[in-house]
C-alpha cells in the first residue's frame, strides 16, 4: 500500500508544501490528490518567488500586469490568487466530504505586517474575500501582533494557519489565541463548526540551531544532536491532547468547534547526516498534519515506514527536554531566535518576489 495512504489511514493529513502553475497546469497536483491522498497545500513567499522566477506559465500574465498601474504586491497577488483558487477547487471535494476537516490551501499575508495586528486583520479579510473559497486558510505568523490578529480573524469566521512556531511557549500562545477567537465567534452567533485553524511548528530549523550549540559544547552534549525538534513536537502533541481533549474545551466541542491541529512544518532534512524522513516517520499520529516538500513527499512514497509513532513514550520526550536543559539549551529562548530568523527569511523572499513583479 502507498505509504502516504497508510499515513492518512492513521489519522494524519499530508499536505504538499508547494504550489505553482506547473503543478496545476501539468496535472501533478491533481495526481497527488488522487493517487497519494494529499489533503492540503501550503504556500509562502519563498514558494511563490521560486515559482514565478522559473517563469513557466507566468511570463505572459506578468508582462501584461506590468503594463498596468499596479503596485508590485498587487501584481504578485494577481498571479498567486488564481493559483490558490485553482488548488482550492481541486481540494473542494475532499473539503466537502470531510465536513471541513481537510482540503485546505494556505495563503500568507505580507511579512511586512508581522508586527501590525490591525494591518494583518485587514489583509486577512481582504485575501479571504478575494480568494472567495471556503477552504482557504489565511497564513499569519505567531508574533504577538499576529496572535491578536488570529483571535480577531477566527472571531470573524476567517480560518487561519498560524505559522512560524518554534517553541512550546509559541504553541501555548497560539492555542490560546484560537480559543479566544472561538469564544468571540460564539458570542457573535457564528458557526463554530466552520472554524478551522492549524498551528505550524517548524522542526528542522530547531535542530540546525540546537545542534550547532551542542557541537560547541562537545562531550556528552553530542549525543543529543538531532533530537531537539522531535522532542519539541512530541511535547507539543501532548499539550494538544491535554488541551483539546480535556474538560476545558468540552463546551466548545459540544457547540461544534474542532481542535486547532498541530502541523509539522520544515520537515525537509537539512543535515545530510540525518535520514530523509527524520521529521516524518517519528511524528505520525492522529489529528495532526504534516507538510512535505516535493523531495520529502517522494521519499515517503518510495521507502516510508509507517506506524502510529507520535504518542509513544511521552516520558522520554520530557526526559530529553531535561537533558537539553542540563546542557544549557532553553528551547523557548531558541524559539524566539528562530522566529525572528524565520521572519527575516520570509521578508527577504518577499522582497525578491516583489523585485520580480516590479515594473
Whether 158 is in a domain gets the answer yes
**Cell 525538534 sits at which residue?**
229
- Supply the pLDDT for residue 199: 98
Active-site position among 50, 125, 139, 270: 139
Q: What is the pLDDT of residues 332-354, one digit of tens each?
A: 999 999 999 999 999 999 999 99
Tell whether the model's pLDDT for residue 1 goes beyond 90: no
Domain count, the chain: 1
Tell whether the model's pLDDT for residue 54 goes beyond 90: no
Whether 328 is in a domain gets the answer no
- Supply the pLDDT for residue 312: 76
Whether 46 is in a domain gets the answer yes
Query: Per-residue DSSP letters for 195-222?
Result: --EEEEEE-HHHHHHHHHHHHHH-GGGG
Whether 325 is in a domain gets the answer no
Please state, in angstroms and rounded to a whole number, the distance separating the CA atoms of residues 347 and 50: 14
Kindly report the length of the chain: 359
Q: Is the pTM of this model over 0.95?
A: yes
Active site residue 125: no
Whether 321 is in a domain gets the answer no
Mean pLDDT of all residues belonging to the chain: 97
Burial group, residue 34, by CB count within 10 angstroms (0-12, 13-18, 19+): exposed
Q: What is the CATH number of the domain that holds 24?
A: 3.20.20.70
> Please, which residues have CB within 8 angstroms of residue 262's CB and are 6 or more apart in sequence?
171, 198, 199, 201, 233, 236, 237, 240, 287, 288, 289
Whether 111 is in a domain gets the answer yes
Q: What is the pLDDT of residues 105-155, one digit of tens each?
A: 999 999 999 999 999 999 999 999 999 999 999 999 999 999 999 999 999
Whether 184 is in a domain gets the answer yes
Report the pLDDT averaged over residues 68-80.
97
Give residue 38's region: left, alpha or beta (phi > 0; psi -120 to 50). beta
Q: What is the pLDDT of residues 145-197, one digit of tens each?
A: 999 999 999 999 999 999 999 999 999 999 999 999 999 999 999 999 999 99
Tell me which residue range forms the domain holding 162: 3-205+236-310+338-357
Whether 349 is in a domain gets the answer yes
Amino acid at each position: 500500500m502507498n505509504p502516504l495512504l497508510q499515513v492518512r489511514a492513521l489519522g494524519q493529513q499530508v499536505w504538499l508544501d508547494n504550489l505553482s502553475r506547473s503543478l496545476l497546469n501539468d496535472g501533478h497536483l491533481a495526481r497527488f490528490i488522487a493517487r497519494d491522498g494529499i489533503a492540503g497545500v501550503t504556500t509562502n513567499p519563498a514558494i511563490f518567488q521560486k515559482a514565478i522566477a522559473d517563469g513557466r506559465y507566468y511570463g505572459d500574465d506578468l508582462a501584461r500586469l506590468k503594463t498596468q498601474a499596479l503596485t508590485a504586491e498587487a501584481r504578485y497577488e494577481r498571479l498567486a490568487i488564481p493559483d490558490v483558487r485553482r488548488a482550492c477547487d481541486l481540494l473542494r471535494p475532499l473539503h466537502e466530504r470531510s465536513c471541513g476537516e481537510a482540503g485546505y490551501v494556505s495563503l500568507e499575508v505580507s511579512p511586512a505586517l508581522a508586527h501590525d495586528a490591525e494591518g494583518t486583520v485587514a489583509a486577512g479579510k481582504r485575501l479571504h474575500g478575494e480568494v472567495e473559497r471556503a477552504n482557504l486558510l489565511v497564513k499569519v505568523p505567531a508574533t504577538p501582533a499576529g496572535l491578536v490578529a488570529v483571535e480577531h480573524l477566527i472571531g470573524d469566521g476567517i480560518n487561519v494557519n498560524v505559522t512560524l512556531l518554534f517553541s512550546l511557549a509559541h504553541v501555548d500562545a497560539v492555542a490560546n489565541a484560537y480559543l479566544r477567537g472561538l469564544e468571540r465567534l460564539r458570542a457573535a452567533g457564528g458557526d463554530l463548526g466552520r472554524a478551522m485553524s492549524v498551528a505550524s511548528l517548524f522542526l528542522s530549523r530547531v535542530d540546525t540551531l540546537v545542534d550547532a550549540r551542542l557541537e560547541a559544547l562537545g562531550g556528552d552534549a553530542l549525543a543529543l544532536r538531532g533530537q531537539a525538534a522531535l522532542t519539541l513536537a512530541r511535547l507539543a502533541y501532548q499539550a494538544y491532547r491535554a488541551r483539546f481533549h480535556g474538560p476545558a474545551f468540552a463546551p466548545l466541542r459540544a457547540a461544534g468547534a474542532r481542535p486547532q491541529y498541530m502541523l509539522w512544518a520544515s520537515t525537509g532534512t537539512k543535515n545530510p547526516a540525518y535520514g530523509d524522513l527524520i521529521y516524518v516517520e517519528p511524528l505520525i499520529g492522529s489529528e495532526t498534519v504534516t507538510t512535505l516538500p516535493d523531495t520529502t513527499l517522494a521519499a515517503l512514497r518510495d521507502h516510508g515506514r509507517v506506524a502510529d509513532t507520535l504518542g509513544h513514550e511521552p516520558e522520554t520526550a520530557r526526559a530529553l527536554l531535561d537533558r537539553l536543559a542540563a546542557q544549557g539549551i532553553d528551547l523557548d529562548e531558541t524559539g524566539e531566535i528562530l522566529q525572528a530568523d524565520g521572519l527575516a527569511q520570509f521578508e527577504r523572499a518577499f522582497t525578491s518576489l516583489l523585485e520580480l513583479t516590479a515594473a
